[in-house]
Structure 1
Amino acid sequence: MKFLMGACAALGICFITGGSNVFAASPETVCTGELAPGTYGRVVVPDDAVCLSEGPVTIRGGLQIGQDATFVLGDEDNPGDTGTISGGVHATNPASVQIHFTTINGGIDIQGGSGPFGGPFDMTWNAIEDNNIRGAVKINGYNGFWFGFIRNTVSGSVTLSNNELEDQDGNEYVSNTIKGNLTCFGNSPAPQVGDSEGEPNVVSGRKTGQCSSL
């Protein structure tokens, strides 16, 4: 992940602040640019779109991310409350889903990916970091460049499966507190600490599969 942030900074596109392209039609907002601080019903990021926000935002009707789409909320280098998403996070074949310092009510369900290269950063990665997640987490079949699930507090079970990444330092699943089970299988590379310098996960239930020793 340190490599990714360096590459992002070098490209000067870690956060795109171009004109706002948010189309609000209560109770649904379609985001294809900057998501400004505020309160929203359901937020939809359409196929191939990019939606970026520094927060804080309150999303009351769930977040839906489409195929080849990118959603970024917050930044690991700038700690602070970025808001609340109620209704869960749902994505099908996204390019990148990056959520930091957010309360997520309703869990996370990400299925598939769109390959390791492309999108606004020229490479794709999922970063679910420093969040308070209430509900189950299921991330399956992501095939981007890198993926980290780090420093989250989860009230529910977590299943991370079949995530096959380009970066051999990927699949960093560490420093989480999980009130439920942690299940990992079919991931390549195998789940690891990597360069995150993270700590073992604290899990109230069972650690099984590839995460049994993490």
Structure 2
Amino acid sequence: MRKFATLFGLSTIVIALVAAAPPAEAAGATVCNGPLAPGTYHRVVVPDGAFCFSDGPVSIRAGLWISWGGTFVLGSDEDTSATGTIGGGVHASDPASVQIHQARINGGIRISGGSGPFGGPFDVTFNAIEDNVIHGGATVTGYDGFWFGFIRNHVSGTVRLSDNTLADPDGNEYVTNVIHGSLMCWGNAPAPQVGDSEGSPNEVSGAKTGQCTNV
């Protein structure tokens, strides 16, 4: 993931330069296409093709929902500051990119499908789920972006990573996670690997199965 920090770290600069929109009323959903200001939200929805980004801290109470071709970025791998809490889980259907760093996620992560390896605000698409505390497990299946990293997360629940087919031969980096549950991987291309992350094997209290037996 270090090479992506170099190529796409400018998103942090963009966030700093754009004026943030105020949160919507707590009782409703906030439709995000642009900067997401620090604050508390009931539900955040990223519509088709939208780009929602924030340095945090944010508190989302009733889930984050990302639609086809949408990009959501919270924090970065260059900043260790806590970015907030997402209650109600993360739900994405055919997104371009889901990048969440240094967050507490209650309700798990469910990402299904993708929208291809090219396009979106960074010209290439990638999922980066890094340095989070996740309660409720994680399932990422059928992602077809350029790169995907699931790195340094502490997870309570089973992690299922399957059928993720990426353009980058250095993709599917699943390393340095602590998982209180099982780690199940199958059908990923390339196969799960350390890549250039310089990561370590995952600590898993349950079973490691399929392609993740040796990572």
Normalising by the residue count of structure 1, what TM-score does the alignment of the two structures yield? 0.95
Is 2:20 the counterpart of 1:8? no
SS of the aligned residue for 2:81 comes to coil
Unaligned runs of 5+ in 2: none
Deviation of the 1:16 alpha carbon: 2.7
Contact 2:5/2:77, CA 8 A, preserved across alignment = no
Map 1:20-169 → 2, pairs under 5 A = 20-21=20-21, 24-25=24-25, 26-169=27-170
Q: 1:51 to 1:22 in 2, by over 3 A?
A: farther
Q: 1:22 to 1:94 in 2, by over 3 A?
A: farther
Which residue is equivalent to 1:170?
171
Contact 1:54/1:73, CA 8 A, preserved across alignment = yes
Q: Provide the aligned length of Structure 1 versus Structure 2.
A: 212
One-letter code aligned to 1:189: P
Distance 2:52 2:13 in 1: 10
Deviation of the 1:19 alpha carbon: 3.9
Aligned-residue sequence identity (percent) comes to 61
Contact 1:22/1:31, CA 8 A, preserved across alignment = no
Distance 2:67 2:163 in 1: 20
SS of the aligned residue for 1:194 comes to coil
Unaligned runs of 5+ in 1: none
SS of the aligned residue for 1:195 comes to coil
SS of the aligned residue for 1:3 comes to helix
One-letter code aligned to 1:101: Q
Deviation of the 1:58 alpha carbon: 0.3
CA RMSD of aligned residues (A): 1.3
Deviation of the 1:15 alpha carbon: 4.9
Distance 2:144 2:92 in 1: 13
The CA deviation string for residues 16-75 of structure 1, in whole angstroms up to 9 with x for no partner, is: 333445672432111111001000001101111000000000000100001000000001
Normalising by the residue count of structure 2, what TM-score does the alignment of the two structures yield? 0.95
Contact 2:12/2:55, CA 8 A, preserved across alignment = no
Distance 1:6 1:137 in 2: 27
Q: After TM superposition, what 4+ stretches of structure 1 lie above 4 angstroms from structure 2?
A: none
Q: Which moved more, 1:169-178 or 1:25-34?
A: 25-34
Distance 1:21 1:113 in 2: 27
Deviation of the 1:14 alpha carbon: 4.9
Contact 2:21/2:37, CA 8 A, preserved across alignment = no
